[in-house]
Structure 1
Amino acid sequence: MDPVPTEAPAVPTRTSAPRAGGARRVERLCHATGVLLVLSGLAHLVVFAVDGGPWDGPVSWRKPVTFGVSFGVTLIAVAWVTSYLRVGTRLRTLLLTVFAADCAVEVGGITLQAWRGVPSHLDMATPFDTAVSMTLAVGGGVLVVLLTVFAVVSFRHRPSGPAGMDLAVRSGFAILLVALASGAAMIARGVVLTRTGHQEAAYHSTAPLKPLHGVSLHAVLVLPALAWLLSRTPWSEPLRRRILSAAIGSYVTAVVGAGVWAALAY
């Protein structure tokens, strides 16, 4: 009689614990960095209240306020939303780490120039100002690449999460691409005008696209947050999806409206 086969000894394998731990660490990093950026923006709102000065224009306290709050909220939102994407833990950790660092550099450069009393973008007056301006421009390009990668992943593989989260995440990233495109257009147009000696025109050239950029930037937080809140209600899934679809339609209408206004203003 043949001997009864015994179970083969277990082969040591890598468990998911280190990867889960890495994911949690990078999320904590993004959350902490995002909170610091938001607090920096709010602190400069106090500086503006004390110091005064214009709210609009290339040199104002508005820029560290709005960029600090916006970048901080976006960083926290992206760290949360990407947890629903079907992407490798190592890749997500790398992308989020670079994204957090880039957000800090962007807000840091803008804040530095505000305290120096000079424009942060499109300023080529001195070698130092040029270095800061180009660093911010390159940083903006890095943001475009990172967020585009996340957007592509969201469409290649259906995001996980409660009912409707897949639609919310994909819609949020799709609208975010509009924000990235408008931001890139502002930088490109401004750089061209600056290089051709139209510095003042470069500062004013970005105004028409700012509403479009601002409205479309935060869809990646608003829509998934709505899907999450709806999943906590006792309403039926078809009703939740109808509400979410209506919200997405309203958001798209707002983005289109801002785009039409930008086109007419140009």
Structure 2
Amino acid sequence: MKNPRAVDRLCHATGLFLILSGLAHLVVFAVDGGPWYGPVSWRKPITFGLSFGLTLAAITWVTSYLRVSPRLRAVLLLVFAADCVVEVGGITLQAWRRVPSHLNMETPFDTTVSLTLAVGGGVLVALLTVFAVTSFRHRPAGPVGMPLAVRSGFAILLVALASGAAMIARGVVLTRTGHQEAAYHSTAPLKPLHGVSLHAVLVLPALAWLLSRSPCSERTRRRIVATAVGCYAAAVAGAGVWAMLTY
């Protein structure tokens, strides 16, 4: 097993690579053009590269506050990093082939890619759920406000995982029943909820970390973090209501 510090460096480097991949495809989109929305768009390698890169970097950092075995954490992070690469790689491959990446069963190869992405999504859910449960079983370490920020970030992240699973499940059902076009568009109502809740695990701990370097009193820092958690939860609830009204 690699040294935990080496694993952290590898995961951060992988996250940076995915972010750079997303930015590179932003340049491709600027040159090549095409639609921004829809199942076949340069938007997907851009947004997924940036999102997975940020999430991988955030999870690597935030889990350093969890009270978990360094060896187990290293194993989980390595699997998580590999899964992020597979997810972004499959999406990027299909974007260059100019075919949909998710819910695409048109050819045996497309089906393989789509199923790989679905299985990879299941692995992501399992790994992140383990980290989330750990954060609640054992109080996270860190400065004032960090335990609340980490736990709240993971709790809200579970909403992102649930909404992502719902999108895939609904899309698969529609695809299997012969409604391919409807499957591609069925995910739209849940995307805002998924996107908003996905990055709480970075935003809230980052706020707690920044406050720990401020002259504010511990009481003030706790209040600011608690207020931020409330505001973020309200935003997620709003996105959830919108999803229910438009689903």
CA distance in 2, matches of 1:250, 1:124: 40
CA distance in 1, matches of 2:59, 2:4: 13
Aligned to 1:265: 246
Find out whether 1:112 has 2:90 as its counterpart.
no
CA distance in 1, matches of 2:187, 2:148: 31
Match for 1:246 among 214, 218, 227? 227
CA distance in 2, matches of 1:143, 1:182: 13
Where does the alignment leave 5 or more consecutive residues of structure 1 unmatched? 1-18
Aligned to 2:166: 185
Where does the alignment leave 5 or more consecutive residues of structure 2 unmatched? none
Aligned to 1:87: 68
Amino acid at match of 2:65: Y
Q: Kindly report which structure 2 residues correspond to 1:98-247, keeping only aligned pairs within 5 A, or say none.
A: 98-247=79-228
Match for 2:5 among 24, 30, 37? 24
CA distance in 1, matches of 2:75, 2:3: 10
CA distance in 2, matches of 1:35, 1:58: 25
CA distance in 2, matches of 1:214, 1:30: 22
CA distance in 2, matches of 1:88, 1:235: 33
Q: Which has the larger radius of gyration?
A: 1
Look up the SS of the partner of 2:141 in the other structure: coil
CA distance in 1, matches of 2:225, 2:129: 23
Find out whether 1:59 has 2:32 as its counterpart.
no
CA shift, 1:235, in A, is: 0.7
CA shift, 1:22, in A, is: 1.4
Aligned to 2:14: 33
Amino acid at match of 1:242: R
Q: Kindly report which structure 2 residues correspond to 1:38-53, keeping only aligned pairs within 5 A, or say none.
A: 38-53=19-34
| Normalised TM-score (structure 1) | 0.92
Structure 1 runs of 4+ off > 2 angstroms? none
Q: What is the RMSD computed on CA atoms of the aligned residues?
A: 0.8
CA shift, 1:42, in A, is: 0.2
1:135-184 superposed Cα distances (whole Å, 9 cap, x missing partner): 00000000000000000000000000101100000000000000000000
Look up the SS of the partner of 2:228 in the other structure: helix
Aligned positions, number? 247
CA distance in 1, matches of 2:144, 2:22: 35
CA distance in 2, matches of 1:229, 1:104: 29
Look up the SS of the partner of 2:100 in the other structure: coil
CA distance in 1, matches of 2:165, 2:18: 22
Aligned to 1:4: none
CA distance in 2, matches of 1:26, 1:96: 8
Amino acid at match of 1:68: G
1:75-128 superposed Cα distances (whole Å, 9 cap, x missing partner): 000000000000001110000000000000000000000000000000000000
| Normalised TM-score (structure 2) | 0.99
CA distance in 1, matches of 2:205, 2:6: 22
CA shift, 1:23, in A, is: 1.1
CA distance in 1, matches of 2:8, 2:197: 23
CA shift, 1:41, in A, is: 0.2
CA distance in 2, matches of 1:168, 1:22: 27
Amino acid at match of 1:264: L
CA distance in 1, matches of 2:146, 2:7: 22
Amino acid at match of 2:82: A
